[in-house]
Amino acid sequence: MERKLDFNFSHVFNGIVWNSVVSGDGSTLVLEIRDGEHKKVSFAALDVKENKWLWQNKVSEELWWVNLNSVFSDYVLLTIYTETNNPDKKGILVYDLATFTLCWWNNDFSMTGVVNDFVFGMSSKYGAREVILDLKSGKEVEGGDKTATNSFGVLRPQQYHEGSDYFNTVKIFLEKKLNLQALSSLEYMEHNGLVFISFYTEVQGLANDLIVLSAMGNVVLHEKMSDHLKGIGWDTFFILSGCVFFVRNKVELVSYKIV
Return the percentage of the chain with pLDDT > 90, whole number: 80
Cβ-proximal residues to 93 (8 Å cutoff; 6+ apart), any chain: 60, 61, 62, 66, 77, 78, 80, 102, 105
Beta bridge partners of 20: 31
Tell me the backbone φ, ψ of residue 173, rounded to 5 degrees. Answer: -60, -45
pLDDT at position 155 is: 94
Instruction: Looking at the structure, tell me whether residues 123 and 211 fall in a common domain.
Output: no
- Higher per-residue pLDDT: 10 or 2: 10
Start-to-end CA span in the chain (Å): 10
Residue 18 falls inside a structural domain: yes
Average pLDDT over residues 18-31: 93
Q: Average pLDDT of 180-188? A: 94
Same domain, 175 and 134: no
Determine the average pLDDT of the residues in 57-63: 96
pLDDT at 126: 73
pLDDT at 72: 92
Asked whether residue 9 is domain-assigned, the answer is: no
- How sure is the predictor about 187, in pLDDT bands with cuts at 50, 70 and 90? very high
Where does the pLDDT of residue 150 fall: very low under 50, low under 70, confident under 90, or very high at 90 and above?
low
Q: With 90 as the cut, is the pLDDT of residue 20 above it?
A: yes
Average pLDDT on 131-136 reads 95
Lowest-confidence pick of 6-20, 81-95, 150-164, 205-219: 150-164
DSSP character at residue 13: -
**Do 209 and 133 reside in the same domain of the chain?**
no
Kindly state whether residues 127 and 168 are assigned to the same domain: no
pTM: 0.92
Number of domains in the chain: 2
Reply yes or no on whether the pLDDT at 151 is more than 60: no
Confirm if 3 and 252 have CB atoms less than 8 A apart.
Answer: no
Give tens-digit pLDDT for 107-116: 999 999 998 8
Domain boundary among 141, 172, 194: 141
Given a contact cutoff of 8 angstroms between Cβ atoms, the answer to whether 252 and 11 are in contact is yes
Spatial separation of the C-alpha atoms in residues 43 and 67, rounded to whole Å = 10
Average pLDDT of the residues in 155-172: 94
Domain that holds residue 137: 14-141
Residues 37 and 135 both lie in one domain: yes
DSSP 8-class letter at 19? E
pLDDT band at 45 (very low <50, low <70, confident <90, very high): very high
